[in-house]
Structures are given as C-alpha cells and as structure tokens.
Structure 1
Amino acid sequence: MTLTLPTRTTHVLLDLDGTLTDSAPGIVASLRTGFADAGFAVPADDVLRTFVGPPLGASMAGVGLTGADAAAAIAAYRRDFEARGMFDNSVFPGIPEALTELRQAGLTLLVATAKPEHYARQIVEHFGLDTYLTGGLDGVYGANPEAFTEVEGKEVVVERALAGAVALGADATQVVMVGDREHDVHAAAHHGVPTVGVAWGYGGPGELEAAGAAAIARTPGELRKLLTS
C-alpha cells in the first residue's frame, strides 16, 4: 500500500547517503579494500554500489556473507572507511539551497540514516549540514554500529527519529521521510510515515515506485516544492 503525503508537512526525516551526499566513491573504495583485507572475493563495482544506503548486514547477506564472515568483512571495511573513505564524499548540488528554503518555510529537519550514528554525525558536521538540522548534531539519528540486520539498520532508526520529531512537537501524521532506496520507503511505512523518493540517489530504475514511495522528486528543487506545497 502506498501512503499519501500529508496535506501539510511539518517535520522531515532525511536519509544521508544518496539523498544529501554522494558518498558512493568513498564507500565503494573502502568496500573493495575491506573484502580483500578480510580474504573474500571482491564483488564488482556495480554490486558494491548497491551497498550504499541499506544496512551493511543486509547487503553482506546479499553477496553470501553472514555471521562471522559478514562481521569480519564489515570490520575491515570500517577500518578503511575511517582512515580514508568517510570524507571521499560530497553534498549533492542544490541540496544546501533546498534545505535552506525548507527551513525558511518553517519545516523541522532531522537525519535518519542506516549509517552508524557516530559516522553520520562526523559526516554531517564535516559538510556543515548540521546547520540546517533542528538541534544540530542532536538531530542526526543513525544505526547502532553493531546492528547488522535490516530491522535494526533502518526501521529502528526511523522509530527513534520519529520519536525525536514528536518530542519537538510533531503530529506524527505530518512527518515525511525522504530517501533514495526502497529500504527507506519500507522502514518509514512500517511506522505509517510516507516517503518522498529522490531520483538522484542510488536506487535502481523503478525501485522507489515499486516500494510505494508517495512521490518522486527529480531535483532538490522539486523536493522543496513537494514538501511545501
């Protein structure tokens, strides 16, 4: 079932990778190193690119690594990511302007990402995105770094971010998720929150529509219009 956008949106939960930032270069490079250092065959780059956004455990399972093998590959990836991959990243063009206009329109902005929270906060701060968030870095909700499952990777994050929005005065029926992958749509829908999908991220053709996104924004300018119209 596709959820519809509220008549008036007041609070927005923003995905990070593929929505606010183009993080694929650093993530893919660190994944290559991580797989090799852990002693596993390195998947092709087009496969590694699908890792950007979803919880790592779910992506590892998709290439046949679970349990201790997945944990070893993730640990090796994170070593490289912390050393060099984290900031091989950039803010998508038009995002600062869109966020500025959303704040000027009175919307409360928070980040809800499957990325471990301590990484997400460093990235948000590095690129100055915290200046657009209510509460600054306290408005960044990320995953427990030890959580390798789909549920703990995103649905729990959305639950926490939604609770944070409600604590800031949100009516839960006026909250919208913004993301680029199907797991954003599914995790938000689990809590009754509709999603605006963004077409500039890492989702495959038709992925967001098939997942039940309430609307698709082709540009950051379209995203602003969808959330304020």
Structure 2
Amino acid sequence: MKKLIIFDLDGTLLDTSEGIMHCYRKTGEILNLKENTIENKKCVIGGPLKDGFQRLYKIDSESQLENAIATYRSIYQSEGINMFCTYQGIEELLRNLKENGYLLAVATLKAESYAKQMLESAGLSEYFDVIHGWDGTDSCTKAYIITKVIFTLNLISSEAILVGDSEYDAYGADAADVDFLGVSYGFGIKKDEIKSQLSPIADSPEDVLDYIINARLKL
C-alpha cells in the first residue's frame, strides 16, 4: 500500500515556465549564445541546467557551459524565482490527500532553498512533510532526491509514488525503484507521445486524486 505521494515541482505543482524560460533567454542574450533548432523549448523545464543549455544552445566548451549555468542562477535568484503560478486544482488535491492520510513530499532538481521559498509564497508548504531539492552538487540526481525523501520519512520505495511531468521524473522514479504517475498538463509529458512507454497519465490534478484515492492506479 502506498503511504507517500512525492511530487515534482516544475510543471507538476507550479507553472514555473515563465521564469525558467526568461532566465534561459536572458542568459543566452547576455552571453551571446547561438541557439539550437528545437521545437519544444519547454522540454528543458524540470531537468538539469546542464542538459537544458546543451539542448537550447550551441555550447562550445565546459567553461562556457559553467558560465551559462552561473549566469542563469544569478538571474533566477533575482528575477525568475517570482515568476510562477499554481496550477488550478493543486491545493484541493493536496488537501484531499492529506485528509486521506497520505504523507506528501516534494522532490525537485530546483535548488532546495528556492523550492521552499516558492512553495511558501504559493501557500502550499504546509501540506508537505518533506521538501528536498538540488543540494548544489553535480552528483545530485532526481533518483537521489527521491531516495533521500523516502529515507527521511523512514519508508521504503514500494510505499511511495512519484507524480511528475517530464522524462527526467520518469527516469528518476525508475532508477529509485518507485512507481510513477505522469501528468499531461505540465511541460514534458504528452499523452499521445508516450502512451506506449509510460502509464498511467493524469490529465489534471483532479485525475491525480482519482488515480490515487480510487485505486485506478492499482496502488
């Protein structure tokens, strides 16, 4: 039986696309980076900044990549962190899950301090038993953060499920040996694109609740 519902942040709880893409664009302009041809630029949201810059821009060297990441973080700290909104229905979802006795947590590749600040500003932090994010090291992966959440709450992987919107979330859940529920209202996962690879997929926060509470997910 599942006891813990772990949520990704970007594209799952909060629509942070405006702030993230603003910081990518501004970094590119400041450093005069050449863009790669990519149709869905928002696919970088929720993933490591290194992957994001390599997907969006022609990066010639490791030093240029490091400079881009440092510039992005500086811009995000002063500008991007305030550019977000909560998806409609999220607070109701969290409230219902808590009322039904679930432990709730956040596992995000965003800096942990930023995640806590944003969830506090959104009025959602009170619902979470644990909020863990990027710890500042290159070895901090999604799987590591998920595992850290489970360890903090003294549970095992079979008692948890990750709710997320991207391939990074799906791969992280698999690596951490945790069940995964994708959401199509976020940035990365589109139901028609990954139907054969990932199942199930929730189209709204209401669907997430339905999958979990009514056992449509076969928890």
Does TM, normalized by the shorter one, top 0.5?
A: yes
Choose which of 151, 162, 166 in structure 2 pairs with 1:181.
Answer: 166
Cα distance per residue 1:146-165 (max 9 Å; x no partner):
42xxx633122112112123
Q: Which residue number in structure 1 is paired with residue 101 of structure 2? A: 106
Residue pair 1:197, 1:208 contacting (<8 A) in 2 also:
no
AA matched with 1:220: P
Which residues of structure 2 form unaligned runs of 5+?
215-219
Q: Give the number of equivalent residue pairs.
A: 211
CA shift, 1:213, in A, is 3.3
Q: Which residue number in structure 2 is paired with residue 124 of structure 1? A: 119
Q: TM-score, normalised by structure 2?
A: 0.88
Structure 2 Cα separation of the partners of residues 219 and 48 of structure 1: 22
AA matched with 2:213: T
Residue pair 2:21, 2:42 contacting (<8 A) in 1 also:
yes
Q: TM-score, normalised by structure 1?
A: 0.84
Structure 1 Cα separation of the partners of residues 136 and 170 of structure 2: 22
CA shift, 1:25, in A, is 0.6
CA shift, 1:47, in A, is 4.8
Choose which of 70, 79, 84 in structure 2 pairs with 1:89.
Answer: 84
Choose which of 10, 18, 26 in structure 2 pairs with 1:25.
Answer: 18
Structure 2 Cα separation of the partners of residues 207 and 86 of structure 1: 30
**What is the correspondence of 1:1-229 to structure 2 with a 5 Å cutoff?**
8-42=1-35, 47-62=40-55, 63-65=57-59, 67-134=62-129, 139-147=130-138, 152-165=140-153, 167=154, 170-205=155-190, 206-210=192-196, 212-229=197-214
Q: Give the number of the structure with larger relative contact order, counting CA–CA contacts within 8 Å between residues 6 or more apart.
A: 1
Task: State, as a whole percentage, how many aligned pairs show the same letter.
Answer: 26
For residues 22 and 45 of structure 1, do their structure 2 counterparts lie closer, same or farther at Cα, with a shift above 3 Å needed?
A: farther
For residues 207 and 191 of structure 1, do their structure 2 counterparts lie closer, same or farther at Cα, with a shift above 3 Å needed?
A: farther
Q: CA RMSD in A?
A: 2.0
CA shift, 1:171, in A, is 4.1
Runs of at least 4 residues off by over 6 Å: none
Which residues of structure 1 form unaligned runs of 5+?
1-7
Cα distance per residue 1:123-164 (max 9 Å; x no partner):
111111111111xxxx111012342xxx63312211211212
